[in-house]
Amino acid sequence: MFAFTSMGAKVDHSINSGPGPYIFKISGQVHHLMGSLLPLEGECPKFAQLYIYDTHNETMNRLNAVNCKERNEKLDEDIVQGLIKMFDESNELADDSKQYEQPTCDEIGGLVVGDIGLFDSNRDIVIELKAGELKRITKLNPKFMSLQYPFLFPYGEDGYRPDLKWSNDYKGHDPKRGRVPMRAFIAYQIQERGPLLDTLLKGGRLFQQFLVDSYATLEEDRLDYIRKNQTNLRSEIYKGIYDAISKGDSDANNVGQKVILPSSYTGSTRYMLNNYQDAMAICRHYGNPDLFITFTCNVKWPEIVRELDNKPGYKGEDRPDLISRVFKMKLDDMINYIKSGKVFGEVEAGEFYKLIISAILNF
């Protein structure tokens, strides 16, 4: 109803058909779409069209956007009007200074950000389909998360940008690079810093979608880096290719691809192969493992329940970041307890157990 852009992804709705908690699951690439400024004939306005189309009937247009041409009695017009007023007063994307105030008559205006020819075309790609529609696929745009999630970023705050620098007051480990990596920026965003700064964490299911969207963008950024730096990677020593040749698989179509994923990319074939070979090497030297432990998360753990009790209205599914942190602490504590020698005695290959567990978890 209030988003400026449409999130393009293949959403798996079947995963929520059972009695379990709500899960937002996608597959494939994520992209954001911004089409024509006017709705197609016979269709209701949606997304960014709602901010400029028939502003005299804006409330009804937004109600119709949820269920086009059919009135939804469960929606409160007063709440919608209050949200419209809030965004008009606070969100810089909805109100672009006095120069772009709402027109006094029914007219259509378009705002192009940046001078034509000066913007980076690699960051903002607009293509025209054969049907005449426009499709905009933008990544790493500092405003894009605010355009997609105006409720989570009510002031139109800037998001991540590639040239973001570390703060002069940063007191952590010395960064290897001069800029802030995307993963560090997203991790910073989802930290709790007081009651006035946790709007993002109160998004419920929308927060879960934001996390999935952010992770998909992060993975795409990593893959782009690998794709653009193939010549800098030491691909000539990849064991996977040599192993395939030694087995007689000489068909080039079955060996590798034009873009080779290194073993440092989590989840890639070479990543899994390296972890497997390391684990098997440990088994050959020390013998087979004596224990195979499956460690699962319980959302009724006292630590999780206590934290959610301090946040009225929250469910475990609304805070996947909290669940993940508690699970990681519990896992590390269990590993340290096993390696302490208090229950099973001295662990012969204790220095390598984390590697084996990591390989199994990622598999």
Tens of pLDDT, residue by residue, the chain (363 residues): 888 877 778 888 888 888 888 888 888 777 766 666 677 777 777 777 777 667 677 888 888 777 665 666 678 888 888 988 898 888 888 765 444 445 444 444 444 444 433 333 344 445 445 565 655 555 677 887 888 888 899 888 888 888 888 877 777 776 777 788 888 889 888 888 776 667 888 888 899 999 998 888 888 888 888 888 877 776 555 555 556 555 555 555 555 556 778 888 888 888 888 888 888 888 888 888 887 888 899 888 999 999 888 887 888 888 888 999 999 999 999 988 888 888 888 877 765 555 555 555 554
Q: Are residues 196 and 273 in the same domain?
A: no
How high is the pLDDT of residue 348? 76
- By residue range, what is the domain housing residue 307? 258-362
Q: Are residues 89 and 17 in the same domain?
A: yes
Q: Are residues 213 and 281 in the same domain?
A: no
Q: How many domains does the chain fold into?
A: 2
Q: What is the pTM for the complete model shown?
A: 0.71
Number of neighbours of residue 358 by Cβ within 10 angstroms: 14
Q: Give the type of residue at 54.
A: D
Q: Are residues 34 and 83 in the same domain?
A: yes
Q: Please say which residue of 223, 240, 274 terminates a domain.
A: 223
Q: Are residues 218 and 264 in the same domain?
A: no
Q: Please count the CA atoms within 13 angstroms of the CA of 301 that sit on its side-chain side.
A: 17
Considering the domain boundaries, does residue 169 fall inside one? yes
Alpha carbon of 8 to those of 29, 67, 90, 186, 191: distances in Å? 8, 19, 27, 20, 27
Q: Please say which residue of 174, 208, 223 terminates a domain.
A: 223
How high is the pLDDT of residue 98? 42
Q: Are residues 274 and 355 in the same domain?
A: yes
How high is the pLDDT of residue 64? 77
Phi, psi of 229 (to 5 degrees): -125, 35
First-last CA distance in the chain: 39
Q: Which residues contact 266 (CB under 8 A, 6 or more apart)?
A: 362
Q: Are residues 295 and 217 in the same domain?
A: no
Considering the domain boundaries, does residue 200 fall inside one? yes
Q: Are residues 206 and 272 in the same domain?
A: no
Considering the domain boundaries, does residue 321 fall inside one? yes
Phi, psi of 202 (to 5 degrees): -95, 15
Cβ–Cβ < 8 Å for 317, 208: yes
Considering the domain boundaries, does residue 304 fall inside one? yes
Q: Please say which residue of 198, 223, 248 terminates a domain.
A: 223
Considering the domain boundaries, does residue 228 fall inside one? no
How high is the pLDDT of residue 107? 43
Q: Are residues 272 and 162 in the same domain?
A: no
Q: Are residues 38 and 162 in the same domain?
A: yes
Considering the domain boundaries, does residue 279 fall inside one? yes
Q: Are residues 84 and 202 in the same domain?
A: yes
Considering the domain boundaries, does residue 233 fall inside one? no
Q: Are residues 195 and 74 in the same domain?
A: yes
Considering the domain boundaries, does residue 229 fall inside one? no
Cβ–Cβ < 8 Å for 271, 265: yes
